[in-house]
Amino acid sequence: MNPGATLMTLCLGASIVCGCAARQAPTEQGVEAPVTQAEAVAEAAPASPAAPTGQQSVGWSTTPLAVASEPVAVKEGTIPLVYLVETPGMFRVHDRTEGRDVARAGAAGRSIIRVDGRSGVIFGRETLVAGPLDREHRYVIYRDPTGPNMARQGTFQLRPPPKQQQQQQQQLQERGGQDQEGGPHADR
C-alpha cells in the first residue's frame, strides 16, 4: 500500500470515528461544497475579539479538555536560582528540602524571578520574601495554571492591504523591485 493511500485511509477512519457529518454549503459560484460538522461549529461561533491586527476572524471553536492543568517546574536547584519569565503568569517558589511554598505571585513577561540567599525571593523589582535563605536547601520555581485547560480551533483570513500599500507595491513592481537608488530592497 502506498503512503498516500495509507494517509487517506487514516483520515477517512478518523472522520468516521469522530462522527464528522458532512453537509453542503454554498460557495461563490453557487456550487455546493462539503463542510464538516467541526467547520459548521466554527462558523456558528462568534468572532474572536483577540484576533491579531491585520487579520479577520472567521470563526473559533473552544473545547474544554479532559486533562487537568498541572503546575510545571521551570527551574530547580540550589541558590542562586534565576528564571527569565517568557510570558506572564502565576509563579511559585517552593522549598523542596522543607516541603513548603516560600512565595507565590504573578510575574510579568520578560521579567526575572530570583531566589538569592542574601536578598530572598524577588519577582521583577518586587521582593516577596526578604533574605537570608538557607543556601543548603533545594528550591523549585513552578508556573501554576491560571484557568481551565482549553483547546481552540478555527480559521482566519488576512485582510486585503489598504489602497496606499497596494499602490506602493504596484510602484515597486513597475521599478523592477529596485530602491530609488537602484539597489535591491533590503526587505526581500
Residue 177's pLDDT is what?
A: 60
Higher confidence at residue 8 or residue 70? Answer: 70
- 30-85 per-position pLDDT tens digit: 444 443 334 433 344 444 444 444 444 557 888 888 888 899 999 999 999 999 99
- 95-111 per-position pLDDT tens digit: 999 999 999 999 999 99
Distances (CA, A) of 130 to 120, 137, 175, 187: 5, 16, 64, 50
User: Rounded CA gap, 142 and 166, in Å?
Assistant: 48
pLDDT at 179 over 80: no
Residue 46's pLDDT is what?
A: 43
Q: How many residues does the chain have?
A: 188
Residue 131 class from Cβ within 10 Å (0-12 exposed, 13-18 middle, 19+ buried)? middle
Q: What is the mean pLDDT of residues 122-150?
A: 94
Q: Where are the domains of the chain?
A: 72-144
